[in-house]
């Protein structure tokens, strides 16, 4: 039952992450940097402490009593994760949406799930799963197999994306009777370099959670003192998010303000010719939805109790939901049946990986 709840919580988190950008499409008259910053203020500054306040008594005291090294490491990983999020856009620009997203999320899932386990081989901590443990237990081997299957599914989805771009390019060339060569910005070398940087740095969110785990454990112990029993505290990671997302806020705030100055878009925030209140509300909805992915991620991890499997489930569900929205919004309209079949195979491969990881955790 605990495993089922863990998978369900990760699905809800993945749904939030795969859906958060939709409210941004309702923002009118604002540049990207303007609505991204306003939404980000809710994602990284407003909602995290509010969630911690509602779920963890005296969360601010936990942060205040945490040693400086833990706070610094958590914050720095948040900074690096923020850079990964910004370079994500460049990876998509040079590789295309499908290929870029698949490469970045694939790398993010691998690094974010495997590196913490390798780290704990050298610096063991009680309750933390090491790579040695994963390799030498039947449940751990299933988790690793599930990870490998997920990567295969991501590659298949990326292949479907490339096929889609070719189909649509060919269709446009046929309709316009012109020589269409595709995306003029497609640069495989530069694109892969940027995607690797983004994938590695985006995985720093997982590392930040590990670095901030002492705060989560304090919250967990305080809760279990009042509620004795084997059940773990669902919301223990909420105190970590407060510090971790300060790092993400710093990176994105600086970059968005630079873009505001460069593009002369500071006027967006006071432009009465745009629906300012409506835009802020949709940005708030997007930002809140974005944070919910990690709110439910923490709940899922508390049930599964394994960083590697939790992270891979989180990434897999994001890919599933994002591709599902693509189908619902007709982003695959106009492609061949072979391309549609390929994306469906990719999605079902990822579903299979989720089932394998979930079963591995049930054996644990």
Whether residue 208 has pLDDT greater than 80: yes
Instruction: Give residue 54's pLDDT.
Output: 92
R_g of the chain, CA atoms, integer Å: 21
In sequence order, what DSSP letters do the residues of 278-344 get, joined into one string?
HHHHHHHHHHHHHHHHHHHHHHHHHHH--HHHHHHHHHHHHHHHHHHHHHHTTTTTT--HHHHHHHH
Q: How far separated are the first and last CA of the chain, in Å rounded?
A: 13
Whether residue 120 has pLDDT greater than 60: yes
CA 348 – CA 150 distance, rounded (Å): 10
Instruction: Give residue 270's pLDDT.
Output: 93
pLDDT digits over 218-241, tens only? Answer: 998 888 888 776 556 778 889 999
Give the distance, in angstroms, between the CA of residue 349 and the centroid of all CA atoms in the same chain: 19
Q: What pTM, to 2 d.p., does this model score?
A: 0.75
Instruction: Give residue 309's pLDDT.
Output: 65
Instruction: Give residue 156's pLDDT.
Output: 84
Cβ–Cβ under 8 Å, residues 9 and 299: yes
Instruction: Give residue 181's pLDDT.
Output: 44
37 SS3 class: helix
Contacts of 319 (CB under 8 A, 6+ apart): 18, 101, 102, 105, 153, 154, 157, 350
Among left, alpha and beta (phi > 0; psi -120 to 50; other), residue 56 is beta
Tell the burial category of 98 from Cβ atoms under 10 Å away from its Cβ (0-12, 13-18, 19+): buried
């Amino acid at each position: 039952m605990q495993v089922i709840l863990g998978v369900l919580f990760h699905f809800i988190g993945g749904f939030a992450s795969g859906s958060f950008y939709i409210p941004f499409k309702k923002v009118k008259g604002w540049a990207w940097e303007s609505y991204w910053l306003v939404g980000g203020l809710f994602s990284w500054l407003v909602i995290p402490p509010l969630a911690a306040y509602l779920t963890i008594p005296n969360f601010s005291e936990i942060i205040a009593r945490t040693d400086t090294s833990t706070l610094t490491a958590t914050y720095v990983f948040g900074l690096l994760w923020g850079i990964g999020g910004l370079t994500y856009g460049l990876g998509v620009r040079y590789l295309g949406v499908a290929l870029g997203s698949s490469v970045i999320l694939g790398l993010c899932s691998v690094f974010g799930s495997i590196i913490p386990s390798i780290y704990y081989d050298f610096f063991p901590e009680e309750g933390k799963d090491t790579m040695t443990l994963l390799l030498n237990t039947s449940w751990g081997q299933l988790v690793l197999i599930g990870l490998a299957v997920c990567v295969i599914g991501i590659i298949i989805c990326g292949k479907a994306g490339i096929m889609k771009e070719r189909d649509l390019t060919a269709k446009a060339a046929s309709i316009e009777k012109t020589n269409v060569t595709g995306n003029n910005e497609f640069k495989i070398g530069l694109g892969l370099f940027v995607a690797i940087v983004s994938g590695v740095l985006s995985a720093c969110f997982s590392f930040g959670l590990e670095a901030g785990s002492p705060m989560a454990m304090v919250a967990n112990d305080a809760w279990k003192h009042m509620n004795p029993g084997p059940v773990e505290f669902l919301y223990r990671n909420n105190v970590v998010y407060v510090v971790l997302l300060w790092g993400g806020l710093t990176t994105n705030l600086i970059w968005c303000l630079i873009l505001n100055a460069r593009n002369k878009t500071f006027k967006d925030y006071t432009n009465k010719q745009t629906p300012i209140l409506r835009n802020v509300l949709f940005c708030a909805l997007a930002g809140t939805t974005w944070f919910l992915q990690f709110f439910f991620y923490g709940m899922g991890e508390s049930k599964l109790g394994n960083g590697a499997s939790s992270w891979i489930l989180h990434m897999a569900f994001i890919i599933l939901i994002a591709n599902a929205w693509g189908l619902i919004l007709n982003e695959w309209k106009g492609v061949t049946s072979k391309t549609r079949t390929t994306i469906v195979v990719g999605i079902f491969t990822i579903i299979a990986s989720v089932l394998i990881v979930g079963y591995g955790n049930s054996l644990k």
